[in-house]
Structure 1
Amino acid sequence: MTTISNTTQGKLLIYGATGFTGSLVVHEAARRGLDFDIAGRNKDKLAALSAELTVPYHVFSVDDIDGWEKGLEGKTALLNIAGPFSQTANQAMDACITFKVHYVDITAEVDIYRLAERKDAAATAAGIMVMSGSGLFTTYDPLVVHTAQRVKNPVALRVAFTYSGGFTPGSVASSANIIGAGLLVRKNGELIKLSEAQSASFDVGNGPEEFSLLPLGGVVLSFKSTGIPDIEEYFKLALPANSAKEGVLTEGHSPADLTTERSTILIEVTGEDGTIVRSMADMPAGYMPTASSAVEIVSRVLNGSVKTGFQSPASAYGAALLTSLPVVNVTDF
């Protein structure tokens, strides 16, 4: 692994720019003053967004290697927003490795984190970073590192995530892949699949509640950042009352409608001596945090702050990444 740092800002390509999340991301990137092009498959939508933001656009599918070559020419990094990522990530990662461009995405699919992990050697040889999960895990992963630092020799991690805010059509499609990955946990450093569902009780501020085991991705990403050998993750869904019909967000749905909703991440770490510590992050619900988190990550990449090979948000940027995120409140107890 090589750490690269410079002070010259590079240029970004945002692929999947015209969907609900993509639109949030490109507007946040513009607000932050990043230098970027947009890309995707829908020419009309790309042209309209290009005219609005005065940025170049490229039209190509993920299987079009010539399109990738032209789109990635002169770029420092790619931010892939096009879900479901089971249909886009492998091609996009391979294009970045071929053309030596850093890769970042916002997926929540654990199998894509495992895919990124398998690209480690190729990415390292190409001198690039491959980071999957720059949405939720920009908060989740550094919070795990922060909590783990509070005990001596952390040996076990449990996570309880309460989500509120609705889902985009891309996320709905991705959810089948998340569930399809199976009941993954980390035991003695090895990734294993449980045969039966299990639940656990956690108190995130409203008294004890039951959460269901679901591989959120820490079994891969937070193992990368901490090396904690035993990891279990649990999930509870709380759809907001003011979400779109059946909780599905469309391109016309206003993100402002979700500003009062909150999501929580509770981290519980056990040290070798049996000490148990907990930290909890309370943050805005929905996709606005995803946009700000992803843009925070790629802004660092464009400024040359990268580690080559497969990385998680915290393996690259540590617990201090938490302090760069807007409206994330952390409580230790």
Structure 2
Amino acid sequence: MDKLLIYGANGYTGVLIAEEMQRRGLAPLLAGRNRGAVEALGRRLGLETRVFGLDDPAAIRAAFDGVALLLNCAGPFSSTAAPLLEACLAQRVHYLDITGEIDVFALCHRADARAQRAGIVVLPGVGFDVVPTDCVAALLKRALPDARSLVLAFEAGGGASPGTAKTSVEGLAAGGRARVGGELVEVPLAWKTRTFLRDGMPRSAMTIPWGDVYTAFVSTGIPDIETYMAMPPRAIAAARRMRLLRPLLRFAPLQAWLKARAGARPGPDDARRAQTGCRVWGEARAADGRLATLQIATPNGYALTASTATDIAAQVLAQPPANGGYFTPSQRMGADYVLRVAGVAIIDPLQVVDAG
């Protein structure tokens, strides 16, 4: 029987996903580079394991024997997506991951024609990055078809995993991104700031290079897109000061040192995840000033990732597409999908208001 393989299964989020899949009666293959950690997890969950690195394309392809779908949970994905995606295209294996990295979305999108020829789904970003925001974007577009600008924002509680922290270090060196006139453009860190209301209280936020700068454009075609993260004013001021250090942050030894420090911090434990959640805001505006808005609440981002990654992987396995290619979460699962995820609630219903 064709199987689902989780690569990076021994990482913080990979473990959560493996546990969730097991609870739902799935039996994924667990894989990664760290033999001791992967095999220990396999023994604990009673699941088969495969150990391989990513420096030998032939070894990767051999490890895909009997595999129908790969879920890549090994970040930073700037290092792991390309070799795994190439192997998936060669072996006709569906490729999914939990990235939030803009350049990885672009890499996967460029493989669209090859994925169609191979008859496989290429669907990056099946976790908190970017399922809820992508679905919110698609819902807003459906309500306001002639929208010309889109703002997406989120506030996440609970802290970051080691992999997310390492990816954030890379993001500091890369600077900010936005979508302007349909084009991806570089912008300074904390390029813009504004506030969003949470339970009637303002939350300060700054622009960040969130994956929806890429994916929401694919999902909606809206040409101007900004993505924000709610942060305290002090943190926003610190991010703006980091602009001066950006050239230093590109220095490879400094990057490695910062990643090592970031990766040493544990992710949120079970209690922390259970006690914290996220908010997502969306606004779409038409040229005449009409505004569509929506606000939702979700579980902790890592808990949501375990749920949505499992959902989407199971759906792709159960219902292989008539035609392969690159998909965003809302394209594959539907704009309403996020509203069906356990623990997600509508806070401010979708509404469209006239200008003024």
What TM-score results when the alignment is normalised by the length of structure 2? 0.83
Aligned to 1:283: 298
Cα pair 2:203 2:231 within 8 Å, conserved: no
Of 15-24 and 264-273, the range deviating more from structure 2 = 264-273
Inter-CA distance 249–303: structure 2 relative to 1 (3 Å threshold): farther
Q: Cα offset for 1:180?
A: 3.2
Counterpart of 2:218?
224
- Does the 8 A contact of 1:143 with 1:319 survive in 2? yes
| Residues in 2 aligned to 1:255 and 1:248: alpha-carbon distance in whole angstroms | 18
The structure 1 segments of at least 4 consecutive aligned residues displaced by more than 3 Å after TM superposition are 246-249
1:252-306 CA-to-partner distances (Å, cap 9, x unmatched) read x632332111211100011343210211111122411111111111011111244
Match of 1:207 among 190, 201, 210: 201
Output the CA distance in 2 between the equivalents of 1:259 and 1:322: 19
Q: Is the 8 A contact 2:8 2:32 kept in 1?
A: yes
Residue 181 of structure 1 aligns with which residue? 174
Aligned match for 2:279, one of 246, 264, 272? 264
Alignment partners' CA distance in 2, 1:157 and 1:286: 22
The total of aligned residue pairs comes to 318
Matching residue's letter, 1:263: C
Shift of 1:108: 1.5
- 2:36 corresponds, among 8, 33, 44, to 44
**Aligned-partner Cα distance in 1 for 2:183–2:345:** 32
What are the within-5 Å matches in structure 2 for residues 75-94 of structure 1?
A: 75-94=67-86
Amino acid at match of 2:7: Y
| Higher RCO (CA 8 Å, separation ≥ 6 residues) | 1
Distance 1:181 1:128 in 2: 31
Distance 2:33 2:263 in 1: 26
Aligned sequence identity (%): 34
Q: Which runs of 5+ in 2 are unaligned?
A: 233-261, 352-356
1:319 alignment partner AA: A
**Cα deviation digits, residues 198-229 of structure 1 (max 9, x gap):** 21222233433321111211111111111111
2:343 aligned with 1:327, yes or no?
yes
After the TM superposition, which of the residue ranges 106-115 and 94-103 deviates more from structure 2? Answer: 106-115
Q: Deviation per CA, 1:164-202, whole angstroms, max 9, x where unpaired? A: 111111111111223333321112211112257221222
Task: Provide the residue aligned with 1:160 in structure 2.
Answer: 153
Counterpart check, 1:25 vs 2:17: yes
Alignment of 1:41-190 (within 5 A): 41-136=33-128, 137-190=130-183
Q: 2:212 is paired with a residue of what secondary structure?
A: coil
Aligned mates of 2:265, 2:188 — CA distance in 1 = 33
Matches within 5 A, 1:288-307: 288-306=303-321
Tell me if structure 2 keeps the 8 A contact 1:110–1:181. Answer: no
Instruction: Please identify, of 38-47 and 186-195, the stretch whose mean Cα deviation from structure 2 is larger.
Output: 186-195
Structure 1's unaligned 5+ residue stretches are 1-8, 239-245
In structure 2, what residue type is equivalent to 1:311? F
For residue 86 of structure 1, report the CA deviation from its aligned partner: 1.1
Q: Do the aligned residues in 2 keep the contact of 1:13 with 1:36 (CA within 8 Å)?
A: yes
Partner of 1:308: 324
Q: Is the 8 A contact 1:59 1:67 kept in 2?
A: no
TM norm structure 1? 0.89
- Relative distance call for 1:195 and 1:52 in structure 2 (3 A) is closer
Residue 237 to residue 31, structure 1, CA distance change in 2 (3 Å): farther
CA contact (8 A) 2:157 2:276 kept: yes
Q: Following the alignment from structure 1 to structure 2, what is the Cα–Cα distance between the partners of residues 323 and 262?
A: 15
Aligned counterparts of 1:74 and 1:52: Cα–Cα separation in 2: 23
Structure 2 match to 1:193: 186
